[in-house]
Structure 1
Amino acid sequence: MDGQPTAEVRAQIKDIPIYRDSLARGHFPLLDKPEIARGFPDNWMTPALATALENGDAEFVLSTGTNHARMQIIRPPYFLLRSYYQLWSEHPDIAHTWQEGCRRVSLTTVLATEHVARVNAAKRGTAPDPSPGPTDRRLDSRTSYVNLRLDPARWERDEVLRMLGEIDAARQTHPRGWYHLDCSGYHLAHLLLKIGRWGLWDAFPPPASIIHAYEYTPVNVRRFLAQHFACPVIDLFGSTELGYLYSGDRRGRYRPHLDGMSVELLPVAPGSEIFQLIVTSVRNPYMPLVRYRSGDCVRTEGGVPDPERIVRFCGREKELLPTPHGPVAQGDLDDRIGAASPRIFLHQLRTGGDGPARLAYTTFDGAPLTGAEHTALAAGVRELTGRDCRPEHHDHLPIGASGKYAWLATGA
């Protein structure tokens, strides 16, 4: 399959300026983020879109900018939320919590919380409160956001108690005491560590289901979460501009959710079994994306370019590390770290400057690796990257401006 759009897709995009040349040539090249931004929004404008923007059926939003510059897009209001709700309502492991009317509590980046507060303030015609209260952080009748700090490692005891109180308030609205926890895996792990440190387990009601999304969740973090919860813990993959595409299940297999979409996989380098995800989607009628290079990387069963056989979302293409053995993805390093020690929490490979690479890490228990663990980690990284590595224990690793962690630092 060459990834070219079907006749049905071509009919839906025939009036969009950005696709005129491709339609005339009969061939669609890969669509990158800079091309989407060039001439925006005129390169997407049609009479139907202009009408939709005028009457509120379409809106301008920004992508999260986690691993690239923030990109302005046009989409229907609550596009991502509706995609999430559809997936939650259909997922075989957790659909029962949707059908039971569970409230959704979101524990993720402060940028997500601030976005909700801005939307609510705009509805009122006021400026957003710099410290938005619970009402300002409600996305709709079912979903609320609780985090108000960029770095969850810096949460204070009173902040944790506030969040636990809001979680319990959501729980109390359900006759069976159920709620659904939506989170970044890192943020939930930080919360569990804070709860353990301050002995607050009695204040934390266990959720009925958990989805972690927003960023790559390392093997050790998934393992740590699984040790603390008896409910399903589901991995979810998607983006602001596309909606949600795949979800994991209780056994770690991925299920596609590709309504209005098709996916092709292209190797990131000749001979590589790491594939970049190329998506054609008309799910968003106001900004359909044809052969869009999402920037995400996957591995498949058997190393074949088959979207039905994806077994791992392994990071971002812009964060691939060149090595003598070919490109290395975030997931490849993560596997080595998980094999060396389940105690490692956060990590960042620092390759800039002369001398060996440094692997900065924190642990769940706060203690450095043992001699055997240290040796296994250094050897694993050296085998993977082809360069010597010096593991370095830290009490804290900085979080990015997006509220997410970078696994690789290549500057001096």
Structure 2
Amino acid sequence: MKVSPDGQPTADVIARVKDIPLYREAVARGHFPVLEKAEIARGFPDNWMTPALAAALDAGEAEFVLSTGTNHARMQLIRPPYFLLKSYYRLWSTHPDIKETWEAGCRRVSLTTVLATEHVARVNAKKRGEEPRPDPRPADRRLDARTFYLNTRLDPALWERADVERMLAEMAEARQAHPQGWYHLDCSGYHLAHLLQKINKWGLWDAFSPPASIIHAYEFTPVNVRRYLQQHFACPIIDLFGSTELGYLFYSDRRGRYHPYLEDMSVELAPVTEGSGLFHLIVTSVRNPHMPLVRYRSGDCARTLDGTPDPAKIKQFSGREKELLESPSGPVAQGDLDALVGSVSPHVFVHQLRVLSPAEAVLAYTTFDGRPLAPRQVAALGHGVRELTGRRCVLDHRDHIAIGKSGKYAWLARDGK
């Protein structure tokens, strides 16, 4: 979708949003400001209501949903049924590295947060007019004929052997259902890495059926986690970037280079602070016809290959704007710390920076093999964190770092929080 040089929507976009109450003032002024999440919520749903939307809601062509809320307050949305799933399927079916597994009819096995599994179980229970079960059965965890969810526990580090054996059996069932023995694995990179660790710990490799293709799409995937997965799988491993309200915007190829997937969308990159090389994503999208977003600040940050605000040159999605850490040299994003950790040692698995004061911090970390880093690496990482954040840093090797209530890891923790 084309955009004006100044980021303002083109005439075709304005024509599609001119009757939406939220945009009337901008249309009248001839200028669209950046759209914040608070504005989307203010006066909802009346601020979005048009006769066409009301008719779509009545006909079941549009529905109210909530965003996941794993990185920000949950936001009410209006969208077509299965909007995000269809966005995923379209991308999978056209991706040059993995479309073969779509065309071959592979089942999609999803290994991600327990919140995602519970959502599917709630939807299925509602269809039956029942309350969801506390321990959902396989049928409860099936999203459609092609997709089902595996995880039923919050913290993958605490999976017990029975959990892992059940999941492996369900993955094997998906493989056996395909004439070529293929299935597609959709996952959080962290969850899959934990599964591999459990398989290794209990010697369950004979029960594990490797997938024909892998997508990780649910959260930031650290450099070391991606490396770890690449060591264990020969198939393409693809990263998707998107959100509940937008669908998917970018995909990686099997070598890790990102490519735009901006059907009915455009992206602006605006500097977080001048000279930092870190950018906000501002998205205009009419992909969701019931809730088109014009110059919407997604809350995500990115860095580009050459430091210029060119969306086609994005090299890293760096985490959330609300989680930036201020430092004397400018804002520090999740991706910045992760790049540092990955450059010092490939053995660090989960890491979390706890800020104690403007001058002190602790970097807690786990490793894939359970052993602490060598003293030389500890010193290098402590020095690197100080250079990056302006804070003296000591390292704290742990056996376990708890996952958040959302089923995702927090890279940053502030003292007392």
TM range (shorter): over 0.9
Given the alignment, which residue of 13, 18, 25 partners 1:14?
18
Residue 209 of structure 2 is matched in structure 1 by 205
Residue 325 of structure 1 pairs with residue 329 of structure 2: yes
CA distance in 2, matches of 1:24, 1:265: 26
Of 287, 305, 309, the residue aligned with 2:309 is: 305
Alignment-derived partner of residue 273 in structure 2: 269
Match of 1:51 in 2: 55
2:373 corresponds, among 351, 354, 369, to: 369
Separation in structure 2 between the aligned mates of residue 16 and residue 128 of structure 1, nearest angstrom: 37
CA contact 2:359–2:390 (8 Å) conserved in 1: no
Pick one of 217, 222, 229 that aligns with 1:225: 229
Q: Distance in 1 between the 2:307 and 2:274 partners?
A: 13
Shift of 1:386: 1.5
- AA aligned to 2:12 is E
Tell me the secondary structure at the aligned position of residue 302 of structure 1. coil
Match of 1:169 in 2: 173
Identical-residue share of aligned pairs (%): 72
Distance in 2 separating the partners of 1:354 and 1:249: 39
AA of the residue aligned to 1:164: L
Q: Quick check: 1:142 aligned with 2:138?
A: no
- Partner amino acid, structure 2, of 1:399: I
TM-score (norm: length of structure 2): 0.97
2:257: which partner in 1?
A: 253
Paired residues of 2:257 and 2:315 also in contact (CA < 8 A): yes
Moved over 3 A (4+): none
Give the whole-Å Cα distance in 1 for the aligned partners of 2:141 and 2:6. 44
Q: CA deviation at 1:120?
A: 1.1
SS in structure 1 opposite 2:306? helix
Is the 8 Å Cα contact of residues 350 and 401 (structure 2) preserved in structure 1?
Answer: yes
Match of 2:414 in 1: 410
Aligned-residue CA RMSD in angstroms?
0.9
Deviation at 1:355, TM superposition (A): 5.6
For each residue in 1:276-315, what CA deviation from the matched residue of structure 2 results, as whole angstroms up to 9, or x when unmatched? 1000000000000000000111111210001111111111
Q: For structure 2, list consecutive stretches of 5 or more residues without a partner in the other structure.
A: none
Q: Counterpart of 1:349?
A: 353
Which residue does 1:68 correspond to in 2?
72
Distance 1:245 1:377 in 2: 33
How far does residue 251 in structure 1 lie from its aligned partner after superposition? Answer: 1.5
Offset of residue 385 of structure 1: 1.1
- Counterpart residue identity of residue 235, structure 1: D
Q: How far, CA to CA, are the matches of 1:393 and 1:347 in structure 2?
A: 9
Aligned to 2:404: 400
2:31 and 2:153 map into 1 onto residues whose CA distance is: 47
Partner SS for 1:131 = coil
What is the rounded CA distance, in whole Å, between the counterparts of 1:287 and 1:410 in structure 2?
Answer: 36
**How far did residue 356 of structure 1 move?**
2.1
Q: Provide the C-alpha distance between the structure 2 equivalents of 1:22 and 1:115, rounded to a whole number of angstroms.
A: 36
Q: Deviations over 1:330-353 (max 9, x none)?
A: 111101101111110001101134
Q: Does 1:239 align with 2:243?
A: yes
Counting matched residue pairs gives: 412
Q: Distance in 2 between matches of 1:314 and 1:234?
A: 17
Aligned pair partner of 2:118 in 114, 122, 137: 114
Letter of the 1:357 partner, please give it.
A
1:3, distance to aligned residue in structure 2 (A): 1.1
CA distance in 2, matches of 1:290, 1:126: 39
**Deviates further, 53-62 or 236-245:** 53-62
Corresponding residue of 1:32: 36
The residue aligned with 2:160 is 156
Q: 1:295 aligns with which of 296, 299, 304?
A: 299
For 2:126 and 2:18, locate their aligned partners in 1 and report how far apart those are by CA, in whole Å: 34
User: Equivalent residue of 2:214, what SS?
Assistant: strand
The separation in 1 between residues aligned to 2:235 and 2:86, in whole angstroms, is: 23
What is the CA–CA distance in structure 2 between the aligned matches of 1:73 and 1:121, rounded to whole Å? 22
Task: Describe the SS at the equivalent of 1:313.
Answer: strand
1:226-268 Cα deviation digits (max 9, x unpaired): 0000000001100000000000001211111100001100000
Distance 2:407 2:31 in 1: 39
Indicate the residue corresponding to 1:189 in structure 2: 193
After TM superposition, give the deviation of residue 66 of structure 1 in Å.
Answer: 1.6
Gaps of 5+ in 1: none
Amino acid at match of 2:219: E
**Matched residue, 1:278:** 282
Cα offset, 1:270, TM superposition = 1.6
| TM-score normalised over the length of structure 1 | 0.99
**AA at the equivalent of 1:271:** G
Take 1:214 and 1:257, find their aligned partners in 2: how far apart are those partners?
A: 17
Kindly provide the amino acid, as one letter, of the partner of residue 292 in structure 2.
Answer: P
Instruction: Give the residue type in structure 1 aligned to 2:192.
Output: L
Is the contact between residue 64 and residue 77 of structure 2 (CA under 8 Å) also seen in structure 1? Answer: yes
Match of 1:95 in 2: 99
